[in-house]
């Protein structure tokens, strides 16, 4: 009886270990998710700052053109403003791409951590089952000849079944004993 209690405790420990590993993996995944959200927020803030900087450069270019007596309609001023806008948009979009790519990488890591947690839980179930099954096999040897006697009973039953239900042999011309 004590051995069954030990077996139960071992199975529960295997299940608990899987559950704890899953919990740790989920906590790690939560930390990674928070890092991804912080990365997205920081990227959004940087993009906003780059947008304001682009607008300040455009405003400064217009102010300098007006100060020097040129008009905003002057083709050279339009080219400078266009170049500043293009460079600003490029910086904004490239920063957005880099930041969101890094956040996507963190989200992938989060998903992997969650899957690892699920795998750890399933492994805990498997370890508990293998503990129970391997101990069950050991109990048969512990009970002495019980395993052997069950095997003999099964063998005798099968032999009797085969004898009764075997089709008659046509080559010898007779039916086996016990055939009906």
For 21-39, how does the pLDDT look when each residue is reduced to its tens digit (9 = 90+)?
Answer: 999 999 999 999 999 999 9
- Let me know if residue 134 belongs to a domain: yes
- Let me know if residue 49 belongs to a domain: yes
pLDDT band at 168 (very low <50, low <70, confident <90, very high): low
- Let me know if residue 28 belongs to a domain: yes
- Let me know if residue 48 belongs to a domain: yes
Identify the top-confidence range among 128-132, 144-148, 153-157.
128-132
- Let me know if residue 165 belongs to a domain: no
Give the domain extent around 31: 2-138
Q: Answer whether residue 9 shows pLDDT above 90.
A: no
Round to whole Å and give the CA distance between 151 and 134: 19
- Let me know if residue 80 belongs to a domain: yes
- Let me know if residue 14 belongs to a domain: yes
What total number of domains does the chain contain? 1
The 10s digit of each residue's pLDDT in 35-72 is 999 999 999 999 999 999 999 998 888 888 888 877 77
């Amino acid at each position: 009886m004590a051995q069954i209690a030990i077996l139960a405790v071992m199975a529960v420990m295997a299940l608990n270990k899987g559950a704890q590993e899953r919990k740790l993996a989920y906590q790690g995944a939560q930390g990674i998710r928070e890092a991804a959200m912080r990365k997205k927020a920081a990227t959004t803030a940087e993009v906003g700052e780059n947008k304001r900087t682009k607008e300040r450069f455009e405003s400064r270019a217009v102010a300098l053109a007006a100060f020097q007596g040129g008009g905003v309609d002057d083709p050279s001023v339009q080219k400078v403003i266009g170049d500043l806008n293009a460079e600003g948009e490029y910086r904004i979009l490239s920063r957005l791409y880099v930041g969101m790519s890094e956040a996507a990488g963190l989200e992938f890591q989060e998903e992997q951590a969650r899957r690892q947690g699920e795998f750890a839980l399933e492994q805990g179930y498997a370890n508990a089952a293998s503990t129970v099954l391997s101990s069950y096999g050991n109990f048969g040897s512990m009970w002495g000849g019980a395993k052997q006697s069950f095997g003999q009973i099964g063998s005798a039953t099968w032999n009797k079944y085969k004898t009764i239900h075997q089709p008659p042999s046509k080559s010898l011309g007779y039916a086996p004993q016990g055939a009906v």
